[in-house]
Structure 1
Amino acid sequence: MSAPPMADGRTIVPRRRAGRPSNAVLDRTHITTAALGIVSERGYPALTMAALARQLGVSPSALYNHASSKQEVLQWVQEHVMSGVDSTGFGQVPLREALRRWARSYRDVFAEHAPLIPVVAVLPVAGSPRTLRMYEAVAEGLSTEGWHPERIVPAIVALESFIFGSALDATAPLDILDPGQHASALPVFAGALQAQRATGAGPADTAFELGLDALLTGMLGPA
């Protein structure tokens, strides 16, 4: 039914009822995106269920109807981020190339989400099927090449430790190693730094490729 006209002929248009959005707008995707935004912009300590509810424009009780805890939200975030890691090469291309492709994509994903590294690095993986499938793909790739079972998990952890560190390095200021006024007292280091800059290559990328080559050579032997 349309609103009745006023005495001067104008029509009263009902205003939209004020208040929080309907709970129907809440789902795992919206919650995950909002949580990722909080962590990326303000860091992990800023992520609380109350802050997440404010970000979503809902009450905490409404949020708890969809996510039981901050831990569950973090597992959703982990699942979302890990979806960008490429582990499809195992069983499709030679092991060295599969590991290289995996490591590069893993590093690039977390370079984009560096604030998550301290969280994901210690988050139990039981709630992240994507992470578990990734581990299975890498483990199967190593196993197929004859790796002894007791060496597989340490190899994955060693590579992950390097990848997480490289992802953090990728976000560091370009002049982080500049010795400044102490350069004259450090002729070898300062000269090496200048030589690296002269190549025009990104220092973080160069360091990553050098380290990855060293790890893969140590694990698999010379290429």
Structure 2
Amino acid sequence: MASPAEAPRQVRRRAGRPPQALLSSARITKAALKLVSHDGYKGLTMAALAKSLNVAPSALYNHVRSKQDVLLLVEDHLMGRVDVSAFAVEPWDAAVRIWARSYRDVFASHLPLIPVIALLPVTNAPETITMYEAVTHGFLGAGWPPESIVDAVVALESFIYGSAYDVNAPADIFDAGSRAPEAPNFSDAVARRGQSGSGAGAEAAAGPAVDREPRNDADAAFTLGLTAMIAGLAATLGPRD
């Protein structure tokens, strides 16, 4: 029997960075979202992400090839937050309203991801594919011809993405300033935006004691546009009797 002095020594693992195997898409996504919440998308760099994960940048590059890959992971995770549940229980037009508003609200807080959604294939984005499957199933259940569905969804998405930017627009975006006299019709329309079509008489009849919620211009424009799009898409591409 070997003496205690001759017994093999237990090699203690050196402290330091965790092994690369601990990295995963889910862990990278979580760390990226945490960085974004603290520093915005400008703070999301590969070096910062590797540091937050306590790994060398080279280890991170073994899992994602570029920042664009990281953005795709984040985008797909956020797509899982888009509410598609109404397509299983609501009429088609009501389901589209709920889905579109949820979609807009999710990405209004993540504008830098919109170009990622618009330009990258969905091949490696399981949450995104799940979302599209639920929407497509809802369209089919409402009697839409299969060949029209993707075009309708793309048209709606184009409107949704633009509306997400509008949520972040400054309140005075249409203020012509000193050039207002050069565009009197536009400036008057801007000044009248949100006024009731019923006229001043109706407002006076309501009395000063009536409290009115301040108007959200982005929501008003979104509601108007979505209503028009739903009606137009149904009339041009939707189910045929």
Which range, TM-score by smaller chain? 0.7 to 0.9
Q: Which residue of 2 aligns with 1:211?
A: 225
Structure-2 change in CA distance of 1:206 and 1:59 (3 Å): same
Q: Deviations over 1:105-146 (max 9, x none)?
A: 000000011111112221211111111111111111111222
| C-alpha displacement of 1:34 | 3.3
Partner of 1:220: 234
Q: Residue 52 of structure 1: CA displacement?
A: 2.4
Question: 2:168 & 2:48 partners in 1: Cα distance?
Answer: 26
Q: Deviations over 1:182-222 (max 9, x none)?
A: 1122222111111126574122111111110000111225x
For residues 86 and 163 of structure 1, the distance between their equivalents in structure 2, rounded to whole angstroms, comes to: 14
What percentage of residue pairs aligned between the two structures are identical?
A: 50
- Computing the radius of gyration from Cα coordinates, the structure with the larger value is 2
Alignment of 1:130-209 (within 5 A): 130-196=127-193, 200-209=214-223
Q: Please name the residue that 1:114 is paired with.
A: 111
**C-alpha displacement of 1:158:** 0.3
Would you say how many aligned residue pairs link Structure 1 and Structure 2? 202
Unpaired runs of 5+ in structure 2? Answer: 1-13, 197-213, 236-241
Alignment of 1:29-178 (within 5 A): 29-36=26-33, 41=39, 43=41, 47-65=44-62, 67-70=63-66, 71-178=68-175
d(CA) in 2 for partners of 1:121, 1:61: 29
> Would the aligned equivalents of 1:31 and 1:56 in 2 still touch at CA under 8 Å?
yes
- Asked whether the equivalents of residues 169 and 204 of structure 1 are also in contact (C-alpha less than 8 Å), the reply is yes
Residues 1:62 and 1:19: Cα distance change in structure 2 (over 3 Å) = farther
What TM-score comes out, normalization by structure 2 length? 0.74
Point out where structure 1 has 5 or more consecutive residues left out of the alignment: 1-17
Note closer, same or farther for the CA distance 1:72–1:186 as it changes in structure 2 (3 Å cut). closer
Contact (CA 8 Å) 2:72, 2:116: kept in 1 or not? no
CA displacement, residues 62-103 of structure 1 (integer Å, 9 cap, x when unaligned) = 3235x2423543332122111210011112111111000000
- Cα contact 1:39–1:116 (8 A) shared by 2: no
Structure 1: distance between partners of 2:164 and 2:22: 34
